Amino acid sequence: MALPAKKQFKYWGIAAAVFAILLWSLGDVLLPFVLGAAIAYMIDPVADRLESLGLSRAASTATIIVVSILLFLAGMLVVLPTLISQMIDLALVLPEAFRDLRAFVQTHFPSLFTEGSRAQQTVSSIAGTLQGKGIELLEGLVGSAASLLNVLVLLVIVPVVAVYLLLDWDRMIARVDALLPRDHAPIIRRLMSQVDAVLASFIRGMGTVCLILGSYYAISLMIVGLNFGLAVGFIAGLVTFIPYLGALIGGALAIGLALFQFWGDWWSIGIVGAIFAAGQVIEGNYLTPKLVGNSVGLHPVWLLLALSVFGALFGFVGMLVAVPVAAALGVVARFLVEQYLDSRLYQGLSHPDSQQQNEP
């Protein structure tokens, strides 16, 4: 006989609480495993495709490993050194650019910068804060042995975890399916299928959009001759998963740098602005509809809320699991709404179906 609903709710609540406590207490330890699982999840369709072409699971995994190593080495040799150099230089240049902006405004609007005025104190405070934070960030990233050790651990553990999970992915899914409660297995399978569709559309689709737009911005800005074009394209592509934020941050940064580099050359400044305008047109009319679709179901506000809450509670690991958890909660919420709309609580006695049921 099945357990009463009250006891089932209690057991599932305890399981959720234990999971949250483990995530909170072991966040740093779980980071490489969460990253490895995310990579395996994203690459699993490629392995399935290779299997459909006649390769075994082991051969498919080995092929993916070889291609990934070649791409990683190419990135390390060609792109990564330039990107790191530009990111460091950009962090050092921003305070200087802000001081130049202050000098420009002071020259054209001297009344705003009277000696000892509040405006002058505010600008000086912001410039000092930017410079101090930039230097502090660089010292923390470059000079910390612990951070370097953590990066090395991630570079070693994450690929190993991803390979093992990718190799056993189908067997793990079958094993989890066999452990589902028999009474609820059909509903759980349907909900998990919807969660997988949402995650596949969002993570894989938006990941591809971010990669394409980031490459487009970086290559276009480098062709125009903008300093730090690769870094600006990387930043813009990285935050493209939040609608309009990538173009807003990247466009403001690129146009700001263009104003200082090409001041007086309005044609070059206009080209930089046109690059980001064209990127938004391409993303909104082609990339996002084709690669992501309209049925993802993750509203930007819901996504930002999930990232903020999970980041505050569980740190960086929480931000990594925020998207899948938000997707799962969204699917469950839609399922509960469907159940509510079909219930007597919503329909009441005035609904035709309810009236038919009440007829003798």
Global pTM value: 0.62
Say whether both 146 and 228 belong to one domain: no
Say whether both 104 and 209 belong to one domain: no
Domain extent, residue 125, equals 27-171
Domain membership flag for residue 145: yes
Say whether both 208 and 130 belong to one domain: no
**3-class SS of residue 288:** helix
Q: Which of 15-19, 176-180, 241-245, 253-257 has the lowest mean pLDDT?
A: 241-245
Q: Mean pLDDT in the chain?
A: 75
CB atoms within 10 A of CB 6: 7
pLDDT of 40 reads 86
pLDDT of 212 reads 87
Domain membership flag for residue 164: yes
Q: Please write down the long-range contacts of 77-83, taking CB distance under 8 Å and 24 or more positions apart.
A: 79/230, 82/230, 83/230, 83/231, 83/234
Q: Which of 43-47, 178-182, 228-232, 312-316 has the lowest mean pLDDT?
A: 312-316
What is the arithmetic mean of pLDDT over 51-73? 87
Given a cut of 80, whether residue 267 has pLDDT beyond it is yes
Say whether both 167 and 249 belong to one domain: no
Q: How far apart are CA 278 and CA 272, in angstroms?
A: 10
Given a cut of 60, whether residue 330 has pLDDT beyond it is yes
Between the alpha carbon of residue 358 and those of residues 225, 341, 342, the distances in Å are 77, 19, 16
Say whether both 84 and 110 belong to one domain: yes
Say whether both 34 and 146 belong to one domain: yes
**pLDDT, tens digit, for every residue of 183-211?**
778 888 888 888 888 777 777 777 788 88
- Percentage, residues of the chain above pLDDT 70: 69
How many folded domains does the chain comprise? 2
Say whether both 105 and 197 belong to one domain: no
pLDDT of 316 reads 66
pLDDT of 28 reads 66
Domain membership flag for residue 280: yes
Q: How far apart are CA 152 and CA 161, in angstroms?
A: 14
Domain membership flag for residue 314: no
Q: Which of 43-57, 60-74, 281-295 has the lowest mean pLDDT?
A: 281-295
Domain membership flag for residue 268: yes
Say whether both 205 and 104 belong to one domain: no
Say whether both 126 and 83 belong to one domain: yes
CB atoms within 10 A of CB 335: 14
Domain's final residue, options 171, 198, 227: 171
Residue 97's pLDDT band (boundaries 50, 70, 90)?
A: low
What is the arithmetic mean of pLDDT over 78-82? 68
Domain's final residue, options 296, 328, 343: 296
Given a cut of 70, whether residue 118 has pLDDT beyond it is no
Domain's final residue, options 120, 147, 171: 171
Domain membership flag for residue 95: yes
pLDDT of 2 reads 61
**pLDDT, tens digit, for every residue of 140-157?**
444 444 444 566 667 778
pLDDT of 141 reads 46
pLDDT of 351 reads 58
Say whether both 150 and 274 belong to one domain: no
Domain membership flag for residue 11: no
pLDDT of 143 reads 46
Say whether both 167 and 87 belong to one domain: yes
Hey, which of 11-15, 53-57, 232-236, 300-304 has the most confident mean pLDDT? Answer: 53-57
Q: Please write down the long-range contacts of 268-275, taking CB distance under 8 Å and 24 or more positions apart.
A: 268/224, 268/225, 271/224, 272/221, 272/224, 272/226, 275/217, 275/220, 275/221, 275/224
What is the arithmetic mean of pLDDT over 82-105? 67
Given a cut of 60, whether residue 236 has pLDDT beyond it is yes
Q: Which of 122-136, 211-225, 314-328 has the lowest mean pLDDT?
A: 122-136
The DSSP H or E segment spanning 155 is helix 145-167
Residue 129's pLDDT band (boundaries 50, 70, 90)?
A: low
| CB-CB contact of 269 with 259 (8 Å) | yes
| CB-CB contact of 311 with 318 (8 Å) | yes
pLDDT of 80 reads 66
Amino acid code (one letter) for 72: F
Say whether both 163 and 275 belong to one domain: no
Domain membership flag for residue 356: no
Residue 337's pLDDT band (boundaries 50, 70, 90)?
A: confident
